[in-house]
Amino acid sequence: MTRDLDEEAPMRKGSLAWVTISALSLAACSGGASGSDAEEASDGGAAAADPTGGIVFMDSAPNPDLDPAGTLSDSSFSQAVLYALYDRILTFDGAGEIQEGLATEWSFVDDELRTFEFTLREGVTFHDGEALTAEVVKANFERTQELGDAAGATVRAAAGNIDSIEAADELTVRVHLQEPDGGFPFALATQFGMMLSPNSLDGSTGVDLEAVGTGPYELVSFTPNNTTTMERFEEFWGGTEGRPATFEVQYVTDDQTRLNALRSGQANVVLLTPRQVSEAEGTGLEVKVNETSSMWVMYENTSEALDDVRVRQALMHAIDRESISSALQFDTGQPSVQLAPPGHPAFLEDADDLYPYDPDKARDLLAEAGHPDGLDLEYVLLNTPEYVQITEVLQQQFAEVGITVDIVTLDISQAGQFMSGETGDLMLARWGGRADLLKTFEVVVGPEGTYAPGGVATPQLEEAIVEARGYAADDPERVNALQAVNRETVESAANIPVVTRSNIYAYNEGCFSGLDPYLASGSNDWRDVTIAPDC
């Protein structure tokens, strides 16, 4: 949709498109879901909903704390709890399109994309009874600004670009930006848009451990990296019909322990790894495979040997993505050489043609780069079972073209050693994606990117990122700009994607509805998930 941006532009109610996905492709994304489950999900599962029941979900990714603006909540894999406790100014639907949240109307009110205005929903209260007002939103934004480098990367960029904030009236907020940012609405639909109660902001409650938001669930208890227990918020502005009475998330790192807990009744829904799908289905459990924007990637430090594009391209050609997808992801993910997920308008249909699996080409490129006898690289391994499995395969594939990777094993909490440039040429990780693809490029390969310790790979990539910032989220030309960023990222091998990664859930047949693909994030939004009786 195209519209003029000027001082008289009407406030907008509706969605800003991230990606349009047909009903057919969404159905395909649901993987192992049965036909009956898909039908229930489409109408919210209201017929089967048990409002007295409770969800007990065992996840592999923990929540160290509950501050949405903090660095420990930056990963999308720990956001299921945050989505339940906190509302956002704007939200996403399952296909990643921006929708109403705490705001019902929103718009840029100038044609320079520097002034963004939104109107809050009337009558919203926090879990402690405090009212949501424009002044509260202003205080939340200012608090994130004051955090500075202590804020998570997801919120830091948005907060850092704000020049000033106005509470124009009780429910109207006007944000003035330092630099044009057509993607600012996307930030409001992520952690930056999660609002804390005024009592949290003034220190009356501890933000890290005592979450007080406006979400559909309120906090009962929280043990960091162990368990979060929540109960339905009866005053939730969106109503309570069909929503389970309780929602508990337990963090269990061992894959088999989670599956065994489901079988024994300790949990009623668990996260699976790809290799567990056949086992779960073989015992009569229902399996749901949800596509997300998440994928397995290797981040690069381009300040040393990887400064040469030919070395980076050699790494791209050395990877047999099809075999990794089949043998390790059990075809629950797709081979990929680009950061744009399949179905996104900026997805490049011809990208795979640039980097077929070709060991001979990889060797030739290394020789051209001055490494005819091979090359040694330092590889950071984050010590979890899935990371180890993929690393073992990659290590073997690299060795076949003469690249020796010296493994440096770190706990996942020590990943900052790579991001600071202190350790490693390469680091494999699960990229959780960003709702706005431009933010993915900025964080992963941008000139100040968290995961690009060696800086931007090429001047052309930096120029393309800067240009893309000048388009509004609903401007059709923004797609072309994102494609240009994507193409330069791929051609310069500024990052090394491997395969996409889905979220895979198991539960007893017919027990859950509404647990649908959530393509805007690497996590799922559980706020509208319902549970059937006797589950």
Task: Among 4-18, 204-218, 342-356, 360-374, name the one with the lowest average pLDDT.
Answer: 4-18
| Residue 3, pLDDT above cutoff 50 | no
Q: What average pLDDT score do residues 429-457 get?
A: 89
Highest mean pLDDT pick, 151-160, 290-299, 457-466: 457-466
Does this model's pTM top 0.85? no
Query: Which of 4-7's residues contact partners 24+ apart within 8 Å by CB, and which partners?
Result: 4/111, 5/107, 5/108, 5/109, 5/110, 5/111, 5/113, 5/472, 6/109, 6/110, 6/111, 7/109, 7/110
Strand, coil or helix: what is 222?
A: strand
Q: What is the CATH number of domain 23-251+503-531?
A: 3.40.190.10
Percent of the chain past pLDDT 70, that is, above it, reads 90
Strand, coil or helix: what is 117?
A: strand
Q: Are 263 and 283 in contact, with CB atoms under 8 Å apart? A: yes
Strand, coil or helix: what is 74?
A: coil
The pLDDT score that the predictor gives to residue 205 is 60
Q: What is the pLDDT of residues 240-280, one digit of tens each?
A: 999 999 999 999 989 999 999 999 999 999 999 999 999 99
Mean pLDDT (the chain, rounded): 87
Query: What six digits make up the tokens of 292?
Result: 């997300």
The pLDDT score that the predictor gives to residue 403 is 98
| Distance (Å, whole) CA 191 – CA 181 | 17
Of the pLDDT bands very low, low, confident and very high (cuts 50, 70, 90), residue 204 is: low
Determine whether 228 is exposed, middle or buried from the number of CB atoms within 10 Å of its CB (0-12, 13-18, 19+): buried
**Bridge partners of residue 248, in order along the sequence:** 56, 229
Q: Domain locations in the chain?
A: 23-251+503-531, 295-500
Q: Which residues of 387-414 are buried (b: 16+ CB within 10 A; e: fewer)?
A: bebbbebbbebbeebbbebeebebeeee
| Residue 27, pLDDT above cutoff 50 | no
Query: Which of 323-329's residues contact partners 24+ apart within 8 Å by CB, and which partners?
Result: 323/393, 324/390, 324/393, 324/394, 324/498, 324/499, 325/499, 327/393, 328/274, 328/275, 328/389, 328/390, 328/393, 329/274, 329/499, 329/501
Of the pLDDT bands very low, low, confident and very high (cuts 50, 70, 90), residue 216 is: very high
Of the pLDDT bands very low, low, confident and very high (cuts 50, 70, 90), residue 24 is: very low
CATH topology of domain 295-500: Dipeptide-binding Protein; domain 3 (3.10.105)
Q: What average pLDDT score do residues 314-343 get?
A: 92
